Amino acid sequence: MIKKLSLVAVLALTACSWHFKNNEVLPESLRTLTLESADQHSEMSRILRNQLQLNDVKLVPSSVNVSKLRLVSTSTNSKVVSVFKQAREAEKILTLNVEAIADIPNKGQYPLAVSAHRTFFDDSRAALAKSAEKEMIMKDMYEQASRQLIIKMAALKKELSK
């Protein structure tokens, strides 16, 4: 019975083209913006640009009355959390810190800071695999930081409505 009801509910919702309005999460002033970065071709800038476009943010060239998202800094850090018997490092915690500023015309500047953490097993016997794994982990961390920045931008909606 529950399966039939859930099936009917799913069919009814899909038939009437009901869907979540994800782009309404962001304030109107941040749905069209300019992305500024010291290095426009860095991995973080590229992934942030893609995440913004996935969230229906229109990216335009710099203009007077257009909001700006300025990527201020991106830094990585690693700490050893465990070692092998031979006193070689075994496991690390990788940390990515990203700082940005949302500059909204007639409203002001809002600093945004996010961080992402991952554990990384450092096996010295598999140097090539370790390098490829670290690149994949860093890409995943950039994506997570980009999503967190968008969430923080959505949180500005309450602040901007004042």
pLDDT along the chain (162 residues), means of 10: 82 64 72 92 95 92 91 94 77 94 93 95 73 91 96 87 74
Q: Give pLDDT, residue 24.
A: 66
Note the pLDDT of residue 18.
55
CA distances to 8, 13, 15 from 2, rounded to whole Å, are: 10, 16, 20
The domains of the chain, with CATH numbers, are: 23-160 (3.30.160.150)
pLDDT in tens, 15-35: 666 555 554 678 888 899 999
pLDDT given at position 23:
46
Tell me, what's the pLDDT at 116? Answer: 97
Looking at the chain, how many residues does it have?
162
